[in-house]
A and B are shown apart, each in its own frame.
Chain A
Amino acid sequence: KAGVTQTPRYLIKTRGQQVTLSCSPISGHRSVSWYQQTPGQGLQFLFEYFSETQRNKGNFPGRFSGRQFSNSRSEMNVSTLELGDSALYLCASSFALAGGQETQYFGPGTRLLVL
């Protein structure tokens, strides 16, 4: 079974630009979560989507948004990029029925550098 895939793997943007990251979950997985990893803040939860609906949201500003498509693929968007948005963005998928808490499997991540 193919794992979680994320595109692009690396991205360089400048302040003020916006960026869209993509995540394809493991086949059959319906829940997709996004995490930000930085040296200073560690791993932080951004949001989780299940059946095209955002079920959970972390403490990030509104510049961070996401969506999920009917095939469970997910995108996250960051608008008006700031230097502090430079991070590794990880996507994780799980089978997760509503309220279920199965293991989340992580993709390789997208490394975003904001200049």
Chain B
Amino acid sequence: ELKVEQNPLFLSMQEGKNYTIYCNYSTTSDRLYWYRQDPGKSLESLFVLLSNGAVKQEGRLMASLDTKARLSTLHITAAVHDLSATYFCAVIIQGAQKLVFGQGTRLTINP
């Protein structure tokens, strides 16, 4: 059974700092997704990582994938308050349209 684990689950940081969220998964998968969720809202797609060594960047967020280590990271650079949200990684079951999500990382960025 595919398991996806994120850490940390809660992260409180100051504006201007850098930090990394980690996502480990237990079995081989074709691709990995990062989503953002604001309180009371739905999931917003951030990144899709397709292959080993893939790196995607959007603004202050950068995601990378190491399929050999079954690890993805979401790096936040010079955090700003607007990035406060819960971030989920999700891995797709091979051959299916079934996403398995991590527990989510609740990120709070304080001014």
Partner of B45, one of A55, A101, A103: A103
Residues of B within 8 A of A (CB): 30-31, 33, 35, 41-45, 48, 88, 90, 92-93, 95-104
Q: When the two chains form their complex, are residues A50 and B97 in contact, meaning their CB atoms are under 8 A apart? A: yes
Chain A residues with CB below 8 A from B44, complex form:
106
Give A91 to B70 CA distance when docked, in angstroms.
27
CA distance A35 to B100 in the complex (A): 10
How far apart are B72's CB and chain A's nearest CB, in angstroms?
Answer: 15
Q: What are 17 of the A-B contact pairs (CB < 8 Å)?
A: A33-B99, A42-B102, A42-B104, A44-B101, A45-B98, A45-B99, A48-B98, A94-B97, A101-B30, A101-B92, A101-B96, A103-B45, A104-B33, A105-B45, A106-B35, A107-B42, A108-B42
Q: Is A79 an interface residue (CB 8 A)?
A: no
Query: Total number of A-B contacts with CB less than 8 angstroms?
Result: 59
Task: Tell whether, in the assembled complex, residue B103 and residue A45 are in contact, meaning their CB atoms are under 8 Å apart.
Answer: no
B21 to chain A, nearest CB (A): 15
Cβ-based interface call for A114 (8 A): no
